[in-house]
Amino acid sequence: MSQWAVEVENLEKRFGDFVAVDGLSFRVRKGEVFGFLGPNGAGKSTTIRMLCGILPPTGGRGQVAGFDIRTEAERIKERIGYMSQRFSLYEDLTVEQNIDFFSGIYKIPKAKKRDRKDWVIQMAGLERHLKVRTSLLPVGLKQRLSLGCAVMHEPDIIFLDEPTAGVDPLNRKRFWDLIYDMTERGATVFVTTHYMDEAEYCDRLGLIHGGRLVALGSPGELKSLPEQGSLEVRCEDPKGAMERIRKEVPGVLEVALFGDALRLMVEDEGLAMEAIMRLFEGKHMKLRKIAPSLEDVFIFLTDPSRSRPGKK
């Protein structure tokens, strides 16, 4: 049997003259947490909808759980769970009614319905909220209920499209604990997110920009990309220095204030350090190289001033 839960080759989606997804190729291993990152409009949600059999591709090929996304969409839907950022719940139903409804949608056998229902209730911490109308739930509980409903049929692959948008940090952490629990049971998780701290939780990441894949690897591998550099500058007037650095230091992709220091993302560390030393000559200043964060990598690879990346 294949070790891959998802396989995509030259996948493309066009809407008239607009290319939303442009030649994507990647594979997702069974049992891993795969993060799909990119700015708004990059093509993340369109890709997920094609993989889930909801949207037909314009070009290329793909397989999910061993089934072709063009010709076997219904077989795919039987093997996956899908949760969108809108939670996909019926707001006018109670918590219990939502669970019962999705149990029927997924055709869970009568002998298993009680066990799966109890699992969702316990997993989501909803024991005291069964009769509460879903629209009245706090966002964190609504999120967990949506996840429970999406996976109550025990799918092999779970697609999560911006599942923690608008959720506070504590509930986001609890949500990721649930994701890890599912992967320990053998599930594969494909997740899109805007939160860089969440990206660190993933086994591997795909960065998409303008419909194209610009980087693929583990968080550690992406932070080790050789063509980027990160610097920290400490000086007496960091706010004033920020504008001078933007204007006078070549190859600065991003400069931001972090406490009493400046954090720079640069194209060439050597050239930038020389320019900064000249800029602060005779003044008190400390300059050092630092390890780039995933946010630094993300900014570097999706910066609109860079040339459009080629297909990978």
Give pLDDT, residue 175: 86
Give one DSSP letter per residue of 51-89, joined into a string: HTTSS--SEEEEEETTEETTT-HHHHHHHEEEE-TTTT-
Locate the DSSP E strands across 66-194: 67-68, 80-83, 157-161, 188-192
**Token pair recorded at residue 88:** 């996909």
Task: Check whether 228 has a pLDDT greater than 70.
Answer: no
Residues in the chain: 312
306 or 82, higher pLDDT? 82
In terms of Cα–Cα distance, which of 250, 296, 292 is closest to 271? Answer: 250
Task: Check whether 303 has a pLDDT greater than 70.
Answer: no
Question: Is residue 1 very low, low, confident or very high in pLDDT (cuts 50, 70, 90)?
Answer: low
Q: How many C-beta atoms lie closer than 10 Å to residue 303's C-beta? A: 13
- Give the Cα separation of 83 and 191 in Å (integer): 10
**Cross-sheet strand order for the sheet of 18-29:** 18-29, 4-15, 59-64, 67-68
Mean pLDDT of 225-242: 83
Domain ranges of the chain: 4-217, 229-291
Question: Is residue 310 very low, low, confident or very high in pLDDT (cuts 50, 70, 90)?
Answer: very low
**Token pair recorded at residue 300:** 């570097």
Question: Is residue 87 very low, low, confident or very high in pLDDT (cuts 50, 70, 90)?
Answer: low
Give pLDDT, residue 127: 94
Task: Check whether 251 has a pLDDT greater than 70.
Answer: yes
- Give the Cα separation of 6 and 209 in Å (integer): 20
Task: Check whether 41 has a pLDDT greater than 90.
Answer: no
Q: Which CATH number describes the domain made up of 4-217?
A: 3.40.50.300
Give pLDDT, residue 312: 35
Give one DSSP letter per residue of 213-269, joined into a string: EEEEE-HHHHTT-TT-EEEEEEES-HHHHHHHHHHHSTTEEEEEEETTEEEEEES-H
Give pLDDT, residue 309: 39
Give pLDDT, residue 265: 83
Give pLDDT, residue 226: 55
Cα 54 to its chain centre, rounded Å, is 19
Give pLDDT, residue 196: 81
Task: Check whether 308 has a pLDDT greater than 80.
Answer: no
Mean pLDDT of 59-79: 95
Lowest mean pLDDT among 19-23, 36-40, 105-109, 125-129: 36-40
Strand partners, 232: 263, 288
Give pLDDT, residue 26: 97
Strand partners, 252: 266
> Which CATH topology does 229-291 take?
Alpha-Beta Plaits (3.30.70)
- Give the Cα separation of 301 and 311 in Å (integer): 13
Give pLDDT, residue 139: 86
Give pLDDT, residue 305: 54
Question: Is residue 307 very low, low, confident or very high in pLDDT (cuts 50, 70, 90)?
Answer: very low
CB 95 within 8 A of CB 117: no
278 or 227, higher pLDDT? 278
Cα 189 to its chain centre, rounded Å, is 11
Mean pLDDT of 219-234: 82
Give pLDDT, residue 73: 94
Mean pLDDT of 263-285: 90
Question: Is residue 188 very low, low, confident or very high in pLDDT (cuts 50, 70, 90)?
Answer: very high
Give pLDDT, residue 295: 80
Give pLDDT, residue 304: 57
Mean pLDDT of 278-305: 82
Percent of residues, the chain, with pLDDT higher than 70: 94
Give kind and range of the element (H or E) at residue 207: strand 204-209
